[in-house]
A = this chain, B = another copy of it.
Amino acid sequence: MNAPPLAAAAEVDAVVVGSGPVGLFQVFQLGLLGIHSHVLECLPHPGGQCTELYPDKPIYDIPAVTVCTGHELTQRLLQQIAPFHASMHFGHEVRTLTRQADRRFLIETSQGLQLVTKTVFIAAGVGAFKPRTLPISGLESFTGSQVFYAGEPTSTFAGQQVVVVGGDDAALQQALQLCHGNDDNSSHKAASVTLLHRRDVLQATDERVQRMHALCASGTMRFMVGQITGLTESEGKLTHIEVLGVDGLSLNVPLNTLSVQLGLSPKLGPIADWGLAMERRQLQVDAEHFSTSEPGIFAVGDINTYPGKKKLILCGFHEATLAAYAAAEYVFPDKRLPVQYTTTSPSLQQLLGVASRMD
Contacts and interface: CB of A to CB of B under 8 A. Distances in A.
Interface of A: 21, 25, 28-29, 32, 54, 56-68, 70, 73, 76-77, 79-80, 287-289, 306-308, 310-312, 314-315, 317-319, 321-322, 325-326, 339, 342-344, 348-349, 352, 354, 357, 359
A20 to B, nearest CB: 12
B317 A321 contact: no
A2 to B, nearest CB: 39
Contact of A321 (B28, B288, B312, B348): B312
B311 A60 contact: no
A284 to B, nearest CB: 14
Given A58-B357, A63-B314, A318-B319, 5 more contacts: A66-B80, A287-B308, A288-B307, A314-B317, A317-B318
Contact of A339 (B56, B80, B312): B312
Given A308-B287, A310-B322, A321-B312, A68 B57 contact: no
A325 B310 contact: yes
A64 B359 contact: no
A124 B65 CA distance: 23
A185 B56 CA distance: 54
A57 B314 CA distance: 23
26 contacts: A28-B61, A28-B63, A32-B61, A56-B359, A57-B344, A57-B359, A58-B357, A59-B342, A59-B343, A60-B354, A63-B80, A63-B317, A64-B65, A64-B77, A64-B80, A66-B79, A66-B80, A287-B307, A287-B308, A288-B306, A288-B307, A310-B321, A310-B339, A315-B322, A318-B318, A318-B319
Contacts of A307: 287-288
A314 B322 contact: no
Nearest to A288: B308
Nearest to A345: B60
A350 to B, nearest CB: 12
Contacts of A343: 54, 57-60, 70
Contacts of A322: 308, 310, 315
Nearest to A203: B359
Nearest to A313: B63
A173 B328 CA distance: 46
Contacts of A319: 318
A62 B60 contact: no
Nearest to A319: B318
Contacts of A68: 64
Contacts of A60: 80, 342-343, 348-349, 352, 354
Nearest to A53: B343
Contacts of A79: 66
B61 A62 contact: no
Contacts of A311: 339
A342 B308 contact: no
A255 to B, nearest CB: 32
A63 B319 CA distance: 12
A30 to B, nearest CB: 12
Nearest to A80: B66
- 8 tightest A-B contacts by CB? A318-B318, A288-B308, A60-B342, A287-B287, A64-B76, A63-B317, A288-B307, A61-B342
A266 B310 CA distance: 33
Contacts of A61: 28-29, 32, 342
